[in-house]
Structure 1
């Protein structure tokens, strides 16, 4: 991508206006030519594609329509969409891409996201806007030179396997989600975006500044090179000598208006309903607790021996608190594949213990939870989430015995089958039991009661579940019931971590701000939970480890809150697009 002109570093404040308005270069001329393509054949500066949208699939809000219009026609197709969390930046991009498709300016589109959001983007763009993209996690993905409309994790795109191919193409449109991930100019992510060639670009982030004003400079400079001059000039002009206090705020905002759109919650008409969280912990039977302890001991021994089986071992540890049915399926698979006699003996012993389980505590108590949920919201629909398919079928079977109307939603269903399940749930009511396949872009605002039968260790995934029902368009308060087994890793995660800093009340964006700071490059939040379980020799040590992790979370949350306050200061009074901007 052509870069802006170089800037003399020995510049005083009075020269700033000259620096921030560099003479028109080849890059500027190229941008002008590219912008004209938006009007070719469709000269109107109105969103022509709105009439093609299915009103049942997507409910557009005024600030979203305005953002899409400004990004396309006032910013010439290069914009930083920086709405606060929960205001629908994905919807804004969907509208932009739909309009570009209508105007035939989307021959090749690359959407880069964090790995966990790629499939959700794919689902939302198809379901709401009818836009088909291949995802790098799809079985039929053949590489970045084999498809024209691609959604991929940014880490996949920057990998040695794909980087050269990604950079070889000139893309019509680049979309970068969670743009704050490229704030550091010394990372491979930053280098990839800097070297990418494209005609139009839309960056998304609710937190343009994560640590310091340099974050904002780096993100904007990738999108609009030269807008702020050099990094030194930017700092000299907008911060005091100690680099702590923002100065010349009005000039900063004037420049930002050329590239950034930021809507705030309190300036929209959206009235988000309250969410109510209830956690119910149940004491397992002696047989269940013996099984849990035997399985945990097996996992710890295997963890110490092998670095290559961590994912399988972590899955076993999650399954044991979900249901014996989920654990049995994985144990059987391991026995089919395992040739080592010692480990086979251990697994067969665990398998025999599963057979002795006569009472499944969670299943017995699920009916109580469902009744309690319905006491809060009479005649309501209820969604029950589990991570594992065998658990799903066990729940369905138990609820059927109680004469509930049930619906099963899981990844093994085709797109049309999934639609039929959702339609039946909407029309018939009852209880929908779902795996986390439901996370992928489904909006179920007609339901407002959820039960987490088992809980992912990553609070982001929990929030994505809740986000299916607690989002724009929900008219009622939302009730979430969490189930946990006492004296297990599940209880530690819920009580020591999630409730410790009230993570259940936070949004995806807020959690992302906290977890991004906590996670290392090679270790996820779930990895950290698993390692603490594996390395603790006693229950007291495990409790201390989780207390320490909760302290880390509290510290990161405080930093995230300070960041929010700083962002508010930078963008206070930010003009959202008046005619004289």
Structure 2
């Protein structure tokens, strides 16, 4: 890490070069000279003040709703912390916006322009989009099809686990970066890990790290993170432990006041209660329905097929996972996949297996309007009756289900004059934006796949219907997060539809219910699931495995009960970590005047 003292944005004034102070000026002979020097002093102070203001704000006010605590954070990071800051606001307060404002200001002043942003893999493209859309900052990303390496661009966003690979790390080490940005910085809490050593070996002048949970297990987590941002602030690790870590095994902290004073020079932390934001409530309506006879028989046939042909060894678990999710979504989703397989697209099915799939296809074709379609139409009718400009987003995971939902809405007499908008992954980014703009202007129903569950803010709508439920809680929260965020001024209504007695029903009751997923924020879920693999596929495979291994309904219930007990254990650990964070930062003063 570089420790150069070059000015961050070239705005500091040396005291020895200053004109005489006021009390010295008044002693000079001649009022004209005194007045002249007073004018010089006033002009110098005016220039200094203007130089320590965020000058790039006018360029981004059309794309961002700037909030006071975010302006405060960016200003303090630049002008009071000399470009070495840990953004530690609570979840949902916009740490990405704060970092983006800092980088925009540095570019606006032509001060610095080589930036490396390291994030968890799943957040890299989201950062890239936000930097471009909100700040006009174009970053290359290691997931770009045309990415040419870490020595080919001045502004790069990358997965930290990709960047630390030897062939990429050498390119990164060979450069002098103006600023290093690390999101989810709590992943660097353990020194000596590959991630930590990789970051420590990068040559960077300024550091902007972000995490809502800078302390998770031990106060030394904080030492390790801060030591990457501002080396030497707390002395050696042994000095830090002697001063702040208790001798016994209590998860407390010594000399908390002194620790807080030190932290103010490097850490920015706002709590939700510190801001003027009035977060609205979530109203969750979970509706489970008894499937009709045809739906029940189709579910049983697909489930039996999946259990018979599931195999981790030959990779079939992934296609079986998809089929089991489709059957609780709609018969048309199942039919779409099965017909492809029967036509030789993606699977070679012969003999008994082919006979089973032909039976499934026949059952799916025989189903007309489904139970979920009927219930959805009732919900949409209620939304439009109670709201002046009725808007609802209907989420599904499957294109065939999306088409069936749109057909049902258009065929229903009650929905004649309701505009219907659709978004799917096949649309370009510009086309998605256009559909969302039409939805905003005209109201109605937006029927969408999860292609908009990340990266787009739709606070002008406050109703979501989860027509089918992702089995991963994080995916559900990402859907809700499109409307339940800063800028939402109404209560948010979430409707969940599920068929009784299906795996969807078990996920809803046993897993989502145990961790109260619909009232958690993304950050809360990240903490709860921190000990698990958080990728969607891994979690969903674990859910499917419970079903595969059950020989009876009672055993299936027991399997899910065991899984929910594990999640409750994760939740207790998360709450313990949260309480520890609150203790460590108790009395931590925020605001410009305290920095």
TM-score (norm 2): 0.87
Q: Distance in 2 between matches of 1:531 and 1:460?
A: 19
- In structure 2, the CA distance between the partners of 1:392 and 1:144, relative to structure 1 (3 Å rule), is farther
Q: Distance in 2 between matches of 1:359 and 1:578?
A: 59
Contact 1:85/1:509 (8 A) holds in 2: yes
Give the equivalent residue in structure 1 for 2:207: 201
Between 557-566 and 156-165, the greater mean CA deviation after superposition = 156-165
Contact 2:289/2:500 (8 A) holds in 1: yes
Q: Give the counterpart of 1:265 among 264, 272, 276.
A: 272
Q: Distance in 2 between matches of 1:365 and 1:89?
A: 39
Contact 1:410/1:435 (8 A) holds in 2: yes
Give the equivalent residue in structure 2 for 1:386: 396
Contact 2:85/2:268 (8 A) holds in 1: yes
Q: Does 1:560 align with 2:574?
A: yes
Query: Could you say what secondary structure the match of 1:460 adopts?
Result: helix
Give the equivalent residue in structure 2 for 1:276: 283
Give the equivalent residue in structure 2 for 1:339: 348
Q: How many corresponding residue pairs? A: 553
Between 153-162 and 226-235, the greater mean CA deviation after superposition = 153-162
Q: Does 1:108 align with 2:114?
A: yes
Contact 1:281/1:491 (8 A) holds in 2: yes
Contact 1:280/1:482 (8 A) holds in 2: yes
Contact 1:283/1:485 (8 A) holds in 2: yes
Give 1:433 deviation, angstroms.
0.9
Q: Distance in 1 between matches of 2:152 and 2:335?
A: 41
**Could you give the per-residue CA deviations for residues 340-370 of structure 1, whole angstroms, max 9, x where no partner exists?**
5244444344333322333422122210122
Give 1:111 deviation, angstroms.
2.0
Contact 2:100/2:131 (8 A) holds in 1: yes
Contact 1:370/1:382 (8 A) holds in 2: yes
Give the equivalent residue in structure 2 for 1:148: 154
Q: Give the counterpart of 1:177 among 175, 180, 183.
A: 183
Contact 2:454/2:479 (8 A) holds in 1: no
- In structure 2, the CA distance between the partners of 1:532 and 1:39, relative to structure 1 (3 Å rule), is farther
Q: Distance in 2 between matches of 1:307 and 1:247?
A: 55
CA RMSD of aligned residues (A): 2.5
Give the equivalent residue in structure 2 for 1:249: 256
Give 1:496 deviation, angstroms.
0.9
Between 163-172 and 516-525, the greater mean CA deviation after superposition = 516-525
Q: Give the counterpart of 2:411 among 401, 407, 432.
A: 401
Give the equivalent residue in structure 2 for 1:316: 323
Q: Give the counterpart of 2:458 among 426, 444, 448.
A: 444
Give 1:266 deviation, angstroms.
1.1
Give the equivalent residue in structure 2 for 1:85: 91
Q: Distance in 2 between matches of 1:224 and 1:438?
A: 38
Give the equivalent residue in structure 1 for 2:305: 298
Give 1:317 deviation, angstroms.
1.8
> Aligned ranges for residues 53-72 of structure 1 at < 5 Å?
53-55=60-62, 57-72=63-78
- In structure 2, the CA distance between the partners of 1:539 and 1:372, relative to structure 1 (3 Å rule), is farther
Q: Runs in 1 of length 4+ with deviation above 6 angstroms?
A: 38-43, 520-523
Gaps spanning 5+ residues in structure 1: where? 3-26
Contact 1:81/1:205 (8 A) holds in 2: yes
Give the equivalent residue in structure 2 for 1:461: 475
**Could you give the per-residue CA deviations for residues 170-202 of structure 1, whole angstroms, max 9, x where no partner exists?**
333222111112222243222322222222221
Q: Give the counterpart of 2:80 among 33, 52, 74.
A: 74
Contact 2:77/2:85 (8 A) holds in 1: yes
Give 1:571 deviation, angstroms.
1.1
Gaps spanning 5+ residues in structure 2: where? 14-46
Q: Does 1:33 align with 2:44?
A: no
**Could you give the per-residue CA deviations for residues 261-285 of structure 1, whole angstroms, max 9, x where no partner exists?**
0011111111101110001112222
- In structure 2, the CA distance between the partners of 1:210 and 1:401, relative to structure 1 (3 Å rule), is same
TM-score (norm 1): 0.89
**Could you give the per-residue CA deviations for residues 388-440 of structure 1, whole angstroms, max 9, x where no partner exists?**
22221221121122223100112222232222211111111101111111123
Give 1:523 deviation, angstroms.
8.0
> Aligned ranges for residues 501-520 of structure 1 at < 5 Å?
501-519=515-533
- In structure 2, the CA distance between the partners of 1:428 and 1:212, relative to structure 1 (3 Å rule), is same
Q: Distance in 2 between matches of 1:521 and 1:188?
A: 21
**Could you give the per-residue CA deviations for residues 421-473 of structure 1, whole angstroms, max 9, x where no partner exists?**
11111111101111111123211111111111111111111111111111111
Give 1:516 deviation, angstroms.
0.9
Q: Distance in 1 between matches of 2:332 and 2:175?
A: 48
Q: Distance in 2 between matches of 1:278 and 1:87?
A: 26
Q: Give the counterpart of 2:134 among 125, 128, 133.
A: 128
Q: Does 1:227 align with 2:237?
A: no
Give the equivalent residue in structure 1 for 2:378: 368
Q: Give the counterpart of 1:158 among 164, 185, 188.
A: 164
Q: Distance in 2 between matches of 1:137 and 1:107?
A: 21
Q: Distance in 1 between matches of 2:168 and 2:551?
A: 43
Rg larger in structure: 2
- In structure 2, the CA distance between the partners of 1:276 and 1:66, relative to structure 1 (3 Å rule), is same
Q: Distance in 2 between matches of 1:211 and 1:465?
A: 30
Query: Could you say what secondary structure the match of 1:516 adopts?
Result: coil
